[in-house]
Every structure is written in structure tokens, then in C-alpha cells.
Structure 1
Amino acid sequence: MSKKVLVLSASPRKGGNSDTLCDQFMLGAQTAGKQAEKIFLRDKKINYCVACDACKGNSGNCIQQDDMAEILAKMIAADVIVLATPVYFYSMDAQLKTLIDRTYSRYTKINNKEMYFIITAADGREQAMERTIEGLRGFTSCLGGAKEKGILYGIGAWNIGDIKGQPAMEEAYAMGKNA
């Protein structure tokens, strides 16, 4: 049975640098015979968690009527989850943080996942992205049995397309193939 790979692209720009790396990761995964799906968060309606805790008395079902229940079900079913974000002010963007916060209702069901992080930034230094990585690790440390399998740094990428032709493109493909 092939692995199910779920790529969560938090780029606000379709075809943006982190989204382009997501496509390369998926291409590598599909080439290796894995099932791969990308969810482009910008196209989804995901409300903020309002900390009402209704989900805890409602079998883990959030009372908000948006796209998060479908995404969460796919996260639970996946073997591999890729969290991809551009770096904004040395942290993940709002789209990804909102998604992470909304996993609250069922995060204890997101178990035994292989996790990959794809992050892009205009800054050319990997160490400038450590706050972003720590934020992603904060989330995955709450997931039972999560295993960090790889980090892809797309550095020096400001404008759409800046990532093309950089080593990160080949690295994303190889990472997906080996996922």
C-alpha cells in the first residue's frame, strides 16, 4: 500500500515560491508511487479558533461550518504531512497558523505522521528561519508519534519565481520521492 502524502500549502500566492516547492515535492512523491494531494489553504474557508471548547463536548467536532473538518480528516488519514509556508516577519504566515490552531478539536487523532517542513524567505540565511521552524516544531511536538523527516529551506526568494533554478527545487523533488 502506498503512502498517503498531504501537502498543506499556506502560500497566499498561487505559484508562489513555497507553493512551487510544494508542487516539486508532490511530483517527487507521485514519481515514487505515493498518493499525493495538495491543499492550497488560500482556496479554503478556515475560520479562527474561538476557544469555545464546544468540540470537547461534541466528540471532537467543531461547531464552525467551514472547510476545516474536511482538511482535518485528511490530516488524520495521511501518512505524511507537509507544512509549507513563506516566512513573514520571521514566523509562519497567518494561513498556516490559523490551520494549526483549528486542529485543536482533533489534534490527538493526528498520530504517527512523518512531517516535512517547506519554508521560503527573502532572507538568504537559513538561521534567520529558526523561529519559523520552532513554531512548526511546537505544533508537531503536540502530535503523538510525529517524526520530523525533513526541512527544506527556500532562501533568497522574494518575488514569485525566484525559487526556480535554485537547488531547493531539486531538493524538494528528492525529498518528496524519498518521503
Structure 2
Amino acid sequence: MKTSKQVLVIEGSPRKHGNTGLLSDEFIKGAEEAGHATEKIYLSEKNIGYCVDCEVCQTEGGGCAKKDDFQEIKDKIAACDVLVLVSPVYYYSVTAQLKTLIDRTYSALTEISGKECYLIIAGAGDQEKYFQTIIDTYHGFIGCFSDMKDKVIILGLGAQAKGA
């Protein structure tokens, strides 16, 4: 019997129904058709402050000192089986919203582990080389945690216009 997984999709685009949204919606559709539970978080709707390198999380063992929507998202990341990061390409990188979340997970290095990880990115570039910085960021991010499994990277090449 196949076990259902909890799939958490974190949408980094500030535009809710853009190209990355279309791609992540299709990913969710496939996951649900396979019997998995899904949740999508739109970072543009969340209040997540920047990491200020106060080191409270590392020296006092109490997690991040900032109290904002990050705590809720961190708990969902820790609880999920599958983590999907989604972002359009913004000057060869992820959006500020997604980068802020990635930076804040520094406070949760021991709380997040054992996830199947996917990356979905879309951008106007028509070659993979234009996406490499994001791919490197993703690999660096999941490499900071224990037992994270890089499953698939989905590239939306040449996606300048919506629906391209």
C-alpha cells in the first residue's frame, strides 16, 4: 500500500498566478492525483523579516528571536515529507521573499531534516545557464540540513509572458 505524503509548496513569486504559479499548480495537481496531501504557502502574503545575524538561535537554543510568520512556516517545513521551493528568476536569483525565508531557516538547522526536495523555477532565459545561480542556491540550502533528498528540478525556460 502506498503511503500518502504531506507536500508543502512554498511559492516565492509576488505574483500569485504567474508562470511559477501555473507550474506549481500542475505539480500540486499531480501530487493530489497520486494521493498526497498538499498545501501551498504564498510568501507574498506572509510577514517574514530578514535575518539580522543576532545568533540567538545558535547560542541560546530557542529558535529565532524574531516573532513573525516564519515560525508557522518553519513548523510546516519541519512536518512535511516533501518540500517544493518555487520562484521566478529575478536577476539570476530567487525572489527576495524566498531568499528571506531561506536565510531565516538558519535558526532551524536541527529541526528540518529528511525531506524530498523539488525546485520549480521559471524565467525569460532560454538556456539552463540563466538558472544556474538559483540551482546552486537550492543545492546549498538543502545541503545545510540532514538527509535532504534532491528529487527533481523543473525549469520553465523562455517564460517571459504569462503562460509561456
CA contact (8 A) 1:111 1:144 kept: yes
Moved more, 70-79 or 86-95: 86-95
Higher helix share: 1
The amino acid across from 2:118 in the alignment is Y
CA contact (8 A) 1:60 1:106 kept: no
State yes or no: 1:31 paired with 2:66.
Answer: no
Relative contact order higher in (CA < 8 Å, ≥ 6 apart) = 1
Alpha-carbon deviation of 1:41? 0.5
Alpha-carbon deviation of 1:57? 4.2
1:71-150 matches, within 5 Å, as 71-150=73-152
Partner of 2:66: 64
Moved more, 57-66 or 132-141: 57-66
The amino acid across from 1:150 in the alignment is V
Distance 1:35 1:42 in 2: 22
| Aligned residue-pair number | 162
The amino acid across from 2:157 in the alignment is I
Partner of 2:156: 154
* TM-aligned CA distance change 1:60 to 1:160, over 3 Å: farther
Unaligned runs of at least 5 residues, structure 1: 163-179
Distance 1:138 1:158 in 2: 27
Structure-1-length-normalised TM-score: 0.86
Unaligned runs of at least 5 residues, structure 2: none
Deviations 1:38-71 (A, max 9, x none): 0010000010001111223443322212100000
The amino acid across from 2:150 in the alignment is E
RMSD over aligned Cα, in angstroms? 1.2
SS of the residue aligned with 1:105? helix
Alpha-carbon deviation of 1:10? 0.2
Partner of 1:54: 56
Q: Identity, % of aligned pairs?
A: 48
Alpha-carbon deviation of 1:20? 1.4
